Amino acid sequence: MKNFTLLFKIACLFFLSVLTFSCSGDELKNSDLYEGEIPQKISDFISSDDSYSIFNDALANCNIQGLISDQENITVFAPSNIAFQSYLQENGYDTVEDIPLDYLEELLKNHIMIQEITLGDLESSSELILETMAQTHFESSSPVMSIVSNNNGLKVNGFTINTPDMFFVNGVVHSVDQVVELSTVNTFINESIQFSEFNNLIEQSENAAVITSTLEMGMSSNSLNELTIFAPDNAAVEHFKANMVTTNSTDSVNQLINYAVSTQVATQDNLEVDELTNGLSIQTLGATVSTMISNGDEISFRTSPFSEIVNLKSGINSIQTSNGILLLTDKVLF
């Protein structure tokens, strides 16, 4: 009986001590359950951090703040004020209000992807090709794509990511100190590992400067050209080079390179895969390319009845950019 009375008194004292603590000014709050701040949306972060005030104002000017407040599971490459100040100076603008509104809107959308991308996603693959929210200035069923890579430092379209993986309730933010321009076909040829040999082939061409300038023309250049690029992978270019060197003299090798590079570049239309029809002729800078579609809907190309057949790759077989499309092929058109 004495033991029971003692235990009862101890229980009462414990209850009173807990009650006293909970009524004091030191009671636990909901925010005390978090180690850091209460999670916020990306839009809250951008609008409250002075480092991104120009980006925030630009979104407001285009009336597209909802893109980072209403969307879920997004990735935002957030350009700092330093990024915008450099961009304005380099392009001859005083403020973001001086940038043509239609171009500014697509430029801002180019920094947003409807998919969460983190450093962890680059562990199994050194580069990712992803859709942005930006659209081309010509008709296209696909948005403009970007390349996020970790081949030589963490980059998006070749621009360095300074602070990655800032997490919020509706997505992730990566800070960049340069405004990320909309990709061109040249962006992917320069930045993607799978086209490194194709890039080298272009650089070996006597017309390299002209070809590169053509591939780089973007929305801001006011160019009316739309590009279709037949883009062979590294294995295809290596195979082409091996056959070329073993059967030709040095002078003829240079001529073959010039012809091959020109034959991969068409400057008339942005030809999406579903626009390719059997018998369609595509005029490139080097030759007329004929399109063939088999009964199994496999798409292939050739430059003459006697030339080697070049196949469009299966799976991911095209990349849409702001100035044209890359059609991914298994051989060099020749």
Question: What is residue 245's predicted lDDT score, i.e. its pLDDT?
Answer: 75
Rounded Cα distance, 321 and 319, in Å = 7
Question: What is residue 274's predicted lDDT score, i.e. its pLDDT?
Answer: 94
What's the whole-number mean pLDDT along residues 210-234? 83
Question: What is residue 123's predicted lDDT score, i.e. its pLDDT?
Answer: 85
Confidence of residue 251 (pLDDT cuts 50, 70, 90): confident
Burial call 83-111: b when 16+ CB within 10 Å, e when fewer? bbeebbeeeeeeebeebeeeebbbbbbbb
pLDDT at 140 over 60: yes
Give residue-wise pLDDT tens across range 173-206.
999 999 999 999 999 999 999 999 999 999 999 9
Question: What is residue 194's predicted lDDT score, i.e. its pLDDT?
Answer: 96
Rg (CA), the chain: 28
What's the whole-number mean pLDDT along residues 260-287? 96
Q: Which residue has the higher pLDDT, 167 or 9?
A: 167
pLDDT at 234 over 60: yes
Rounded Cα distance, 198 and 75, in Å = 30
Block residue for tokens 């295809």:
236
Question: What is residue 29's predicted lDDT score, i.e. its pLDDT?
Answer: 33
Residues constituting the chain: 334
Which residue ranges form the domains of the chain, and what is each CATH number? 42-183 (2.30.180.10), 186-329 (2.30.180.10)
Angle at the Cα of 189 from the Cα atoms of 112 and 210, rounded to 5 degrees:
115
Q: Which residue has the higher pLDDT, 13 or 265?
A: 265
Rounded Cα distance, 308 and 12, in Å = 92
Confidence of residue 151 (pLDDT cuts 50, 70, 90): confident
Question: What is residue 124's predicted lDDT score, i.e. its pLDDT?
Answer: 82
Q: Which residue has the higher pLDDT, 39 or 102?
A: 102
Report residue 249 as tokens: 């003299």
Rounded Cα distance, 312 and 330, in Å = 7
Share of the chain above pLDDT 90, in %: 76
Would you say 205 and 199 are in contact if contact means Cβ atoms under 8 Å apart?
no
Would you say 144 and 324 are in contact if contact means Cβ atoms under 8 Å apart?
no
Question: What is residue 6's predicted lDDT score, i.e. its pLDDT?
Answer: 41
Q: Model-level pTM?
A: 0.85
Question: What is residue 249's predicted lDDT score, i.e. its pLDDT?
Answer: 76
Rounded Cα distance, 131 and 113, in Å = 6
* Average pLDDT of the chain, as a whole number: 88
Question: For residue 333, what are the contacts with CB-CB under 8 A and spacing of at least 6?
Answer: 230, 232, 260, 263, 264, 284, 287, 289, 301, 302, 303, 310
Question: What is residue 190's predicted lDDT score, i.e. its pLDDT?
Answer: 96
